[in-house]
Amino acid sequence: MARRLTERSGDNDLYLLDVGTGDVVHVSPHDDEASYGSPSWLPDSSAFFFSTDQGRDMAAVARYDVAEGSWQYVLERPWDTSCRIDWTGNHLLVETNEDGTTAAELVDPEWLERTGAVSLPARGVASFGFLATAGCSPIRPAHRSSRVTPGSTTWKREAPPASPRRRARCRPRRWWNRSCRFSSFDGEQVAVFLYRPRASNPPVVVYLHGGPESQYAPSFNPLIQYLVARGYAVAAPNVRGSTGYGKRFSHLDDRTKRLDAVSDLAALHDWLGATAGVNARRAALFGGSYGGYMVLAGLAFQPERWAAGVSVVGISSLKTFLENTSPWRRKFREREYGRLDTDGDFLLIASPLTHADDIRAPLFLIHGENDPRVPVGEARQIHNLLEAKGIRTELVVYPDEGHGLGKLKNRLDAYPRAAAFLDDVLRP
């Protein structure tokens, strides 16, 4: 089996290769944009299961019959669904991504009837295999279970023993409630997870995930816990363009619709202002990679709303980013942001660097010198421009890092410095 990306955003093809004859079968001919997951074969190789969203908004489980050379949907759920099968072929594990949290059940591969549920130690995120399963929640680091079969899931803590201060960890407010949404400028409903400290009326940090084809999920995040323990509320939204809420939602920020995602930040700010106990007048943006772009865009396009920003390996200009990123990466990202040869004018319009004269909030920048995806020049060019304007800006470049902070010593240096910066700006 082989999967191949196409020129369209969120689209790929699935092929079946006969190693004996060399014949190649295109399993997934389609006209609409659609994604296809990895196959899970039956032991006799007569068929395989996979997930796809062809002709649908949410991904569902399909079954491909090799002899017939065709497939059909066999399991559909209200959320994105994926699957895998054990080596015996007796258990099909069906997973759903329910507003960022994981749910799972076991299904008979032949009759497609539910044979049992898979219990998790807490509502959160899990990754499954049939010999070991890892799961975590916002307040609980990774756990591992035994073999997943009906009635035999036993969870064992693999993290260090809980410290006496474990109770200080904060779970997101009503994070299990699907109604935790805010309305954006066009009525689109956007999910957000809100973590709150014990302090009253705290400043708030908006934590923005990268991607943009990604999703914030309520897993254990040490940085969020660190900020909450420091007295900040943390709001983690899944703005339009995020995955996990259907194909339509993930395409709402494609190319010339990029700034609609930035407008979601303004709606989030309004929502935070109406949320009791959170001080939206002292609100900062914090994100990495594409999340770093969103930080810079929020400061540039909504300068009256945001009091500070922390951008980690962020994009300051979509145009210079595409010009200078690695060639293999450029073709992949042009599908999402726009092409240099046809969308150059809009790339400039949507770039925070173009509107840097409007930025007035203090900005903290973190970057790796050897970043092959978002070159360090993205941070330096906006830092130099703001510094020349007299806007407070700090740039920390790590010579031994690439895209992000992979080394513990650098994380232990960068994040306390960023937090001290936020303390100074938001709580002088």
Q: Does residue 118 or residue 309 have the better pLDDT?
A: 309
Q: How far is Cα 417 from Cα 329, in angstroms, rounded to an integer?
A: 31
Tell me how far apart the alpha carbons of residues 428 and 419 are, in angstroms, rounded to a whole number: 13
Q: How far apart are CA 416 and CA 397, in angstroms?
A: 15
What's the pLDDT score for residue 164?
41
Inter-residue contact 83 to 50 (CB < 8 Å): yes
Alpha carbon 60 to its chain's center: 20
Supply the pLDDT for residue 174: 39
pLDDT one-digit tens code per residue, 325-376: 988 888 888 888 999 999 999 999 999 999 999 999 999 999 999 999 999 9
Q: Which pLDDT score, from 0 to 100, does residue 427 have?
A: 86
State if pTM tops 0.95: no
pLDDT for res 88: 85
Which residue in 425, 138, 404 sits closest to 288, CA to CA? 404
pLDDT at 377 over 80: yes
The residues spanned by each domain of the chain are 2-117, 170-426
Residues 82/75, Cβ–Cβ less than 8 Å: no
> What is the average pLDDT score of the chain?
87
Interaxial angle between packed helices 222-229 and 408-426, expressed in degrees from 0 to 180 and rounded to the nearest 10: 40
Q: Is the predicted pLDDT of residue 135 greater than 80, yes or no?
A: no
pLDDT mean over 384-396: 97
CA distance 95 to 319: 39
CATH, domain 2-117, list 2.120.10.30, 2.40.10.220, 3.20.20.210, 2.60.370.10? 2.120.10.30
Of 5-9, 175-179, 410-414, which gets the smallest average pLDDT?
A: 175-179
DSSP string, 322-372: HHHS-HHHHHHHHHHH--TTTSHHHHHHT-GGGGGGG--S-EEEEEETT-S
Fold classification of 170-426 (topology level):
Rossmann fold (3.40.50)
Through-space distance between the first and last CA atoms of the chain, rounded to whole angstroms: 58
Q: What pLDDT sits at residue 145?
A: 52
Question: Quick one: pLDDT at residue 136?
Answer: 53
Taking the C-alpha atoms of residue 35 and residue 52, their distance in angstroms, rounded to an integer, is 6
What percentage of residues in the chain have a pLDDT greater than 70? Answer: 87
